Amino acid sequence: MFSLVRSAVLYGIECRMISVEADVSDGLPGFAMVGCLSSEVREAQDRVRTALKNSGYRLPPKKITVNLAPADIRKSGSAYDLPIAIAVMAAHGYLPQEALEQKFLLGELGLDGSIHGIHGVLGMVKEARKAGCSSCIVPLANLREGAVIQGIRVYGAGHLREVVAHLISGEHLPEESIDIEGKISEDKNRAKRDFADIRGQHMAKRAAEIAAAGMHNLLLSGPPGAGKTMIASRIPGILPPLSVEEALEVSQIHSVAGTLPGEGILTARPFRMPHHTISPVALAGGGTNPRPGEISLAHRGVLYLDELPEFQKDTLEILRQPLEEGEIRISRNSGQYVFPAGFMLVASRNPCRCGFFPDRRKCRCSDYEVRKYLRRISRPLLDRIDLHVEVQQIPYEDLVQGSSEEETTTQIRARVLRAQEIQRERYDGSTYRFNAELTAADLKKYCPIESEEERHMKQIYEQKHLTARTYHRLLKVARTIADLEGSTQIAMRHLDEAVLYRPTELLM
Amino acid sequence: MEEYWEWLCSIPGIYQAQKEFLLRCFGTPRAVWEATEGELAYLEERGCGWIDKVRKYREVSSPEKTVHMHREQGIQFTSHEHTKYPGRLQNIAGKPYGLFYKGRLPEEERKSVAIVGARMCTRSGKERAEQLAKRVALCGGQVVSGAAYGIDGAAQWAAVTNGGASYAVLGCGVDRCYPASHRALFERLVERGGILSEFPPGTPPVSAHFPVRNRIISGLADLVVVVEARKKSGSLITADFAAEQGRTVMAVPGRPEDELSAGCNELISQGAGVILSVDLFAKSIFPEFKKKKVQLSDDFALAPAEKLVYSSLDFYSKSIWVLEESTALSLAELAGSLLSLEMKGLVKETERNYYARLV
C-alpha cells in the first residue's frame, strides 16, 4: 500500500516542500530509503523502526520502501523521522491516507517514540502555509517558533502516539498563540542596557547616535577598559524597533542556526559579538549544508567585532562584499545560497599595542610600532567604516560621581527615530533607505551644500589632506548630523562636527 | 688638485684608513692616480689586497670623468684642502679627506646645532625634537642631523618647515635616499640646506657606515643635543665623538625607568648639559636673540569662542576632550573653532583630535 506525507527540507535559510512516500509490498523483508539522502537521514530507518516498536506498533515482515521526493535535492538533518514514521504506518494501514491530507509533519524521533526539537521550524512552517497545508505538527520544543506563523494551525507533539491519536481521532494537541507586536513593544532587553549607565564619553556616545541615525558603520578606538564594548552593546537599543516582517525575517535566520530564544521569535535587534578567533566560515556562513554565519545572524542588527586587529586577516576581508551588498552569496557544489547580511558594523580596537596612543604621557610605543599595529586592518575595510571615534579613559571623578544628566537610551532613540523618519521621506521612491547607503554619484543630489559651505569644505579638504573617499564619507556623516538636528540644509557646524569623526589617518 | 681628490674619494670600497695609507705612500692623490703598475703590484704583494680596487677604478674612470659624472648628477665636492671645506671639520680627528654634497655646505658663521636621537622614538620625543629644532631655526641657527627615522627626521623637518636651514650627513652616497620614505624631506633639505656624505655616490647604506658618519655630524655642530637614546645607541656614539672634538653635549632628561631615556640620563650623569625647557635652552645658546612676544594682530580677529579655545591650548598637544572640559563648548563649536584657528595657522592638529598651538 502506498502513502504520502508532506514535509520540508532546508535549503540555506529557504525551505522547499518535499513529499515523504512509503510503500509496503511483499518480498524479502527490508527497509529501503531513496531520494538523495545524507547519512543522518539514512539513519532514520533504525530510529523509526525502533520508535514504532517501542510505541506499541508492530510492523509485519514486509518490504518497505521510502522515497523522499523530489529526488534531486539533497536532504539532510533529522526532521524527517516523524514524517517517515507516519508514512510507514499509513502504508501499513494504521492510518487512513485521508487523515494525512493537507498535513505537514516535522520532527526527530527518539528510540522510545518521543519527539525531539529540530532547527529551522519557522521557515518550514512558513513554506507549508505557502504550499496550502491546513495544519502542521511540530516537536513540542519548537511549538512557539512554529506558532509565530499566522494562517496555519500549528500543533506541538511530544510523542509519536500523540501524533497518531491526533491524526486518527482528532485528539487534542497543544497549540500556542503569540502576540508578535506586543512582544516587540515589550522591550525587555532595552531596559537592561541603557546609555545612561555610561559615564562621560559623550563624544563616543554622540558618534554612536549618529551611526544609528544614518546606519553608518562605526569604529571605536581606545585604551582597554574604557568602555568600548559597553557602548557597542547599547547601540541596538537606540535603533528603531523591528517591524513584524523584520522580526520574522530575522527569526527565520536564527531558527535555522538554532539560536532562537525560548519565546520562538526574536523581538529585539540582534547584537552579535563573535570572538576574534572566529573562522572565516563561521563568520560568513557555510559548511556542507550551508548554515548562516555571524554576519547573517546580525542581520538587521549590530555585528560587533571587538579587538578588530586581532581577527585573522582572511576572516576580515570576507566582510567587504556583504558590507556593500547587504547579503552574502555562498557557492558550494550543492548549490548557491544567498544569506541576508544587512548589519551595522561596530568594531573596536586599541590605538596601539599598549593601548594609550596618542596620549603621549602614557604611550611608549614608537611611531613604527603604532603604524604596524594600525596597518593590520586593511585600507579597503577601514574605508567602509564612516565614523571613527576615540573612547578615552574616564577620569576617576566621572566614575564615582554618578552624574545625573547622562542621557537615557529612550531620549537618544527618540532623536534617532526622527532622523530616520526624515531619511525615509527624503529617499521615498529611491533605492536608498539610509544616508550610509548613498553612493558618490548621488551625493550631489541628496547632500547639496551652499556655496559658502562649499568653500569651507574646500578648506577642510586641503587643511586635513582628505582623500576623495574620506570627503564623501564626511559629507554623508554631515548629512546625518543635520538630519538629527532636523535641518534640511547641511550647515557649517554639521561639517565641522563631521570632521571629528573622519577616518583615521596618521599625520606626519 | 681638486679633481684628483675627488677621484681618490670616489674609489668604491676604499675607506679612511686606506686613503690615509695611500697618501702616506704616494704623498698626493695625483701621485696615486699616476702610480705605476709596478708600484701598485709592490703594495699588493705586501698584503694590500684592496689595491685592486684602486686599479679597477683607475681603469674605468679618470679624474675628469669622475668630476663630470658627479656634476651632471648635481653632486658637488670639496676636499679638505679647499676653502669651501667646513672649518669646523678641519680640527677633528679622522676628518674626511673630502665631502660630497647636494645643496649647500653648512655656513661657518651661523650657530650649528646637531639634534640626534633614536629612530624608534616615542611621540613625545619627536615633539620635543621638533620644538628644539624649530627654536633653533627661528633663532637663525642651523640643524645638523642624520635624516633617519624618528628624532633625526622630525628635527630636520621642523627646521626646514620653519624657515631654517638643515644639513643631513648620510651613511650612503648622496644620490641615495635612505630611508626611502624620507624622499620629501631630502628634497626640502637640498632646497633649504644640504645633504652631505664622505662616501662616494652610489655607496649603499651599510650599517658600518653610520657610526663612522656620526663623527661628521658632531664635527659640523657647535652643540650636540641628544633627545632620546637607549643605553647602546648611535646617538651616544655621536655624543662621544662630540666630547672628543670638544663640542658641548646636552641631553633631554627622562624618567629613570624609561629605556629610551637611559642613554640621555647617562650622558647627564657624565656631565652633559640638561635641557630643562626650550626657552632656557634657547637663552643659553642664543643669548643675543630676544624672543618676540607673540602678539595676535587684529587681522586675525578671533571670534570669542576661538579666543577661548586658543587660550586653553598649549605648545604641547592636548586632546579634544580635555579642551571640551576646559572650554565648556559643545563638540561642534569646538571643532569649528579649532578648524578656523588651524586655517589661520595658529594651531596644528598633531595627531587625530589632538591639537597644539603653533604661536
CA distance B257 to B264: 12
Lowest mean pLDDT among B109-123, B270-284, B317-331: B317-331
With cut-offs at 50, 70 and 90, classify the pLDDT of residue A507. very low
Q: Which residues of A touch B119 (CB under 8 A)?
A: 368
Lowest mean pLDDT among A19-33, A197-211, A359-373, B246-260: A359-373
Same domain, A190 and A160: no
The grid coordinates of residue A123 equal 521557515
What order of strands is seen across the sheet that includes strand B318-319?
Answer: B318-319, B354-357, B347-351
Same domain, A267 and A137: no
pLDDT in tens, B139-180: 999 999 999 988 999 999 999 998 899 999 999 999 999 888
Neighbours of A181 (CB within 10 A): 12
Residue of B nearest to A362 (CA): B124
Q: Which residues of B touch A365 (CB under 8 A)?
A: 122
Same domain, A223 and A279: yes
Q: Is A429 left (phi over 0), alpha (psi -120 to 50) or beta?
A: left
Same domain, A272 and A312: yes
Closest to A246 in 3D by CA, of A192, A202, A299: A299
Sign of the C-alpha dihedral, residues B336, A232, A505, A474? negative
- What is residue A139's predicted lDDT score, i.e. its pLDDT? 95
Please indicate whether, in this complex, the C-beta atoms of B123 and A368 are within 8 angstroms of each other.
no
- 3 state DSSP class of A86: helix
CA distance B153 to B150: 6
Residue of A nearest to B344 (CA): A463
Closest to A12 in 3D by CA, of A407, A439, A330, A372: A330
Same domain, A26 and A129: yes
Say which amino acid occupies B2. E
Does A422 map to a domain?
A: no
What's the predicted TM-score (pTM) here? 0.76
Task: Please list the residues that pair with B77 across neighbouring strands.
Answer: B100
Average pLDDT over residues B305-319: 84
With cut-offs at 50, 70 and 90, classify the pLDDT of residue B297. low
Please indicate whether, in this complex, the C-beta atoms of B123 and A357 are within 8 angstroms of each other.
yes
CA distance A284 to A292: 7
Q: Which residues of A touch B123 (CB under 8 A)?
A: 357-358, 360, 363, 367, 370
Say which amino acid occupies B215. R
pLDDT in tens, A150-162: 899 999 999 999 9
Per-residue pLDDT at A401 exceeds 80: no
For chain B, percent helix, then strand, then coil, each to nearest 5? 50, 15, 40
Residues of chain A with pLDDT > 70, as a percent, come to: 95
Average pLDDT over residues B277-288: 88
> Which of A203, A361, A496 lies nearest to residue B336, judging by beta carbons?
A496
Question: Rounded to the nearest 10 degrees, what angle do helices A367-374 and B123-138 cross at?
Answer: 130
Buried b (16+ CB within 10 A) or exposed e, B294-313: eeeeeeeebeebbebbbeeb
- Give the CATH number of domain B112-285; options: 3.30.70.20, 3.30.450.20, 3.40.50.450, 3.30.470.10: 3.40.50.450
Q: Which residues of A touch B256 (CB under 8 A)?
A: none
CB pairs under 8 A between A and B: 81
Closest to A117 in 3D by CA, of A144, A90, A148: A144
**Touching check for B127 and chain A: CB below 8 Å?**
yes
What order of strands is seen across the sheet that includes strand A344-349?
Answer: A271-272, A302-305, A344-349, A218-221, A387-390
Question: In terms of pLDDT, which residue wins out, A503 or A75?
Answer: A75
User: For cell 576646559, what's the residue?
Assistant: B326
Does A319 map to a domain?
A: yes
Does A138 map to a domain?
A: yes
Residue of A nearest to B260 (CA): A364
Please indicate whether, in this complex, the C-beta atoms of A460 and B339 are within 8 angstroms of each other.
yes
Residue of A nearest to B318 (CA): A359
- What is residue A188's predicted lDDT score, i.e. its pLDDT? 62
| Rg, Å, chain B Cα set | 24
Does A40 map to a domain?
A: yes
Does A196 map to a domain?
A: yes
Same domain, A389 and A499: no
pLDDT in tens, B28-43: 999 999 999 999 999 9
Please indicate whether, in this complex, the C-beta atoms of A203 and B324 are within 8 angstroms of each other.
yes
- What is residue B299's predicted lDDT score, i.e. its pLDDT? 53
Closest to B228 in 3D by CA, of B135, B116, B149, B112: B116
Closest to A301 in 3D by CA, of A356, A372, A251: A251
Same domain, A262 and A324: yes
Same domain, A163 and A238: no
Q: Which residues of B touch A459 (CB under 8 A)?
A: 339, 343
CATH number at residue A477: 1.10.8
- What is residue A190's predicted lDDT score, i.e. its pLDDT? 60
- What is residue A299's predicted lDDT score, i.e. its pLDDT? 95
Please indicate whether, in this complex, the C-beta atoms of B124 and A361 are within 8 angstroms of each other.
yes
Please indicate whether, in this complex, the C-beta atoms of A460 and B124 are within 8 angstroms of each other.
no
B298-357 classified as CATH 1.10.10.10 = yes
pLDDT in tens, A307-320: 999 999 899 999 99
DSSP assignments along B198-209, one per residue = SSPTT----TTH
Residue of A nearest to B127 (CA): A360
User: Virtual CA dihedral for A350, A217, A465, B168, nearest 10 degrees?
Assistant: 20
- What is residue B248's predicted lDDT score, i.e. its pLDDT? 94
CA distance A230 to A209: 14
Same domain, A272 and A379: yes
Q: Is the peptide bond before A322 cis (omega within 30 degrees of 0)?
A: no
| Rg, Å, chain A Cα set | 28
Find out whether A9 and A36 touch, Cβ atoms under 8 Å.
Answer: no
Does A446 map to a domain?
A: yes
Does A416 map to a domain?
A: no
The residues near A147 (Cβ < 8 Å, ≥ 6 apart) are A154, A175, A176, A177, A178, A264
Find out whether B9 and B200 touch, Cβ atoms under 8 Å.
Answer: yes
Per-residue pLDDT at A360 exceeds 70: no
For residue A102, the enclosing domain spans 2-169
CA distance B129 to B251: 11
Find out whether B28 and B52 touch, Cβ atoms under 8 Å.
Answer: no
- What is residue A215's predicted lDDT score, i.e. its pLDDT? 94
Find out whether B143 and B185 touch, Cβ atoms under 8 Å.
Answer: no
pLDDT in tens, B230-255: 998 999 999 999 999 999 999 999 88
Lowest mean pLDDT among A295-299, B283-287, B293-297, B329-333: B293-297
Please indicate whether, in this complex, the C-beta atoms of A364 and B351 are within 8 angstroms of each other.
no
Please indicate whether, in this complex, the C-beta atoms of A499 and B339 are within 8 angstroms of each other.
yes
Neighbours of A442 (CB within 10 A): 14
Same domain, A295 and A227: yes
**Touching check for B331 and chain A: CB below 8 Å?**
yes
CATH number at residue A297: 3.40.50.300
User: Virtual CA dihedral for A367, A370, A372, A374, nearest 10 degrees?
Assistant: -140
The grid coordinates of residue A175 equal 497549540
Interface of A with B (CB under 8 A): 202-203, 206, 357-361, 363-370, 388, 390, 392, 459-460, 463-464, 492-494, 496-497, 499-500, 504-505, 507-508
Q: Which residues of B touch A219 (CB under 8 A)?
A: none
Complex-level ipTM = 0.73
Average pLDDT over residues A368-376: 81
- What is residue B321's predicted lDDT score, i.e. its pLDDT? 83
Find out whether A220 and A347 touch, Cβ atoms under 8 Å.
Answer: yes
With cut-offs at 50, 70 and 90, classify the pLDDT of residue A508. very low
Average of per-residue pLDDT values in chain B: 90
Per-residue pLDDT at B119 exceeds 80: yes
CA distance B244 to B353: 45
Same domain, A362 and A473: no
Same domain, A451 and A365: no
Q: Which residues of B touch A359 (CB under 8 A)?
A: 319
**Touching check for B350 and chain A: CB below 8 Å?**
yes
Average pLDDT over residues B101-126: 90
Provide the domain count of chain A. 3
